Amino acid sequence: MEKFLLSPWFFSVVGVVCVIIFAIYFHEKKEAKRAVQAGKSSQDESGRHETVFTNRPVPVVITEEPEEAVQEEVEPEEEEDEFPSEITAAEALAIITKDEKSIPEDVTVVGDLTIQDLAIPEHLDLRGVTFKGALRIIGVKVGADLDLERAVIEGDFEVRDVEVSGKIADFSSTQVSGNVTISNVKVSGGEMKLDSSETEGDLLMENIEIESTLSCEEMNVNGNVSLKKLKVNGYISLQQASFSADFTVEEVKNAGDFYMGGISVEGKTIFSNSTVGDELKFDEDTKFSRVALFSEFSANKFLAEGITADEDFVVRKAEISGSVDLESSNVSGHLRITESNVGLDLYLSEATVEKSFDLTGTKVAGELRLSGANINELIGLSCGSLTF
C-alpha cells in the first residue's frame, strides 16, 4: 500500500480529480449567476409583471426596510407670565427689594408705597408707573439712575435722604396730585430733571447737591414753589415754567447761568442770598403778576430785557460784576434798583415804568442809558454817565 501511495500513478490520479472538482465548482457558480438574472421579473405588454422561475436555487437577498424617521417631539417654550396690570404697594415693594427688578411701565400700584433704607446697586426704574396713593423714597442709595419719568402719583411725592450715583435723577413729565418734596438729595454723577412735570400742590426742593445741571423747563406748579439751599455745579433752568402761587429762591449757589426766560409767576417772587456763577437771565416772555424782589445776590450779568411786572420790580443789595439790562421792560409799579453795585452799564432804553425808577444807594460804573424810556419819576442817581 505504501508503495502504491508513493507511485507516480497515484499523483496523476489525484491531479485529475482536483481538476474535475474545480471545473464543477466554476460551472455551478456560472449557472447560479444566470439563474439570478433569469429570476428577475419581466413586464408584459399589459403592464403586468411576469416572474420566471428556474429549477436551480436562487440566492435570496434580504434587504432591511429603512426605518421611518422618528420626529423628535419639541416641547413648546413656556411663555413668561405676563406682568399684572395692577399690583398692591406691598407687592411692588417686594419686587423692588427682593427680585431687584423695576416695575414695568403702565402698571398701577394701589396704596401708599414707601421705599426706605435700601441700597439698590443698579437703576431704580419706575417710568410710566401709576401710583394710586403716596410715593415716598427715603434713605435710599441708588447705584445708577433714579428714573420716574412719566410717573403718575395720586398723592404726595417725597424723595428724602437719597443719593444717586448715576447720570440722572429724572422726574420729568411726572404728574402729582399732592405735594412734592425733594430734600437732602445728592446726585453725584449728573443732573436732575423736572421738565414738563405737573404738581397740583406745593413744590419744595431743599438741601440738594447736583454735580451737573438742574432743569425744570416747562414745569407747572399750582401751589407754592421753594428752592432752598441748592448747590448746582452747572446751570439752572426754569425756562417757560408756570407757577400759580409764590416763588422763592433762597441760598442757591450755581456755577453757571440761571435761566428764567418765559417764566410766569402769579404769586410773589423772592430771590435772595444766592450766587449765580454767570448770567441771571429772563426774556420778553417773563411775567411777574405780583411783587418781584431780588435781594442780596451776586451774578455776572442781570439780563431782564422785555420783562413784564404787574407790580413792583425790586433789585436790592445786589453785586453785578457786568451789566444790568432792563431795556423794553414794562413795570406797572415801581422799579427799584437800590443799594447795589453794577460793574458796567445799566440799560433802560425803551422801558416803561408807570411809577418811579429808584436808584438810591446804587453805583453804576458805566453808563445809565434811558433813551426812549417812559418813566414817571426818577429818584437817586450815582453813575459814571447818563444817556437819554
pLDDT at 8: 60
Do 385 and 301 belong together in one domain?
yes
In this predicted structure, the answer to whether residue 62 has a pLDDT above a threshold of 60 is: no
Do 296 and 175 belong together in one domain?
no
pTM score, whole prediction: 0.77
Strands 313-316 and 292-299: parallel
Do 175 and 305 belong together in one domain?
no
Domain boundary among the residues 256, 291, 319 is at 256
The residue type of 29 is: K
Closest CA to 247 of 222, 277, 213: 222
The Cα angle at residue 204 between residues 203 and 206, in degrees rounded to 5: 155
Range 189-209 average pLDDT: 97
With bands split at pLDDT 50, 70 and 90, how would you rate the model's confidence at 87? Answer: very high
How many distinct structural domains can be found in the chain? 2
The percent of the chain in helix, strand and coil, each rounded to the nearest 5, is 10, 40, 45
pLDDT at 122: 87
Range 203-207 average pLDDT: 98
* Residue at 62 is within a domain: no
* Residue at 37 is within a domain: no
* Residue at 65 is within a domain: no
Domain boundary among the residues 237, 256, 275 is at 256
In this predicted structure, the answer to whether residue 386 has a pLDDT above a threshold of 60 is: no
Domain boundary among the residues 256, 271, 291 is at 256
* Residue at 18 is within a domain: no
In this predicted structure, the answer to whether residue 41 has a pLDDT above a threshold of 50 is: no
Q: Which residues contact 107 (CB under 8 A, 6 or more apart)?
A: 83, 84, 85, 86, 87, 129, 130
Do 294 and 232 belong together in one domain?
no
- 95: which 3 cell numbers? 419686587
The whole domain housing 387 covers 283-388
Closest CA to 180 of 195, 159, 164: 159
Do 387 and 348 belong together in one domain?
yes
pLDDT at 82: 78
* Residue at 169 is within a domain: yes
Do 218 and 299 belong together in one domain?
no
Per residue in 236-277, pLDDT (tens digit) is 999 999 999 999 999 999 999 999 999 999 999 999 999 999
d(CA 241, CA 282): 12
In this predicted structure, the answer to whether residue 77 has a pLDDT above a threshold of 90 is: no
Do 242 and 133 belong together in one domain?
yes
Say whether 22 sits in a helix, a strand or coil: helix
Say whether 36 sits in a helix, a strand or coil: helix
pLDDT at 83: 81
* Residue at 307 is within a domain: yes
With bands split at pLDDT 50, 70 and 90, how would you rate the model's confidence at 186? Answer: very high
Do 188 and 317 belong together in one domain?
no
d(CA 292, CA 247): 9
Do 325 and 386 belong together in one domain?
yes
d(CA 111, CA 89): 5
* Residue at 206 is within a domain: yes
With bands split at pLDDT 50, 70 and 90, how would you rate the model's confidence at 3? Answer: low
Largest CA distance in the chain: 169
In this predicted structure, the answer to whether residue 52 has a pLDDT above a threshold of 70 is: no
- 229: which 3 cell numbers? 439751599
Range 160-183 average pLDDT: 97
Do 140 and 236 belong together in one domain?
yes
Per residue in 98-155, pLDDT (tens digit) is 765 689 999 999 999 999 999 998 899 999 999 999 999 999 999 999 999 999 999 9
Name the DSSP letter for residue 322. Answer: S
Burial of 239 (0-12, 13-18, 19+ CB in 10 A): buried
pLDDT at 32: 57
Do 228 and 326 belong together in one domain?
no
Do 213 and 298 belong together in one domain?
no
pLDDT at 43: 43
* Residue at 127 is within a domain: yes
Residue with cell string 411777574: 288
As a whole number, the mean pLDDT across the chain is 86
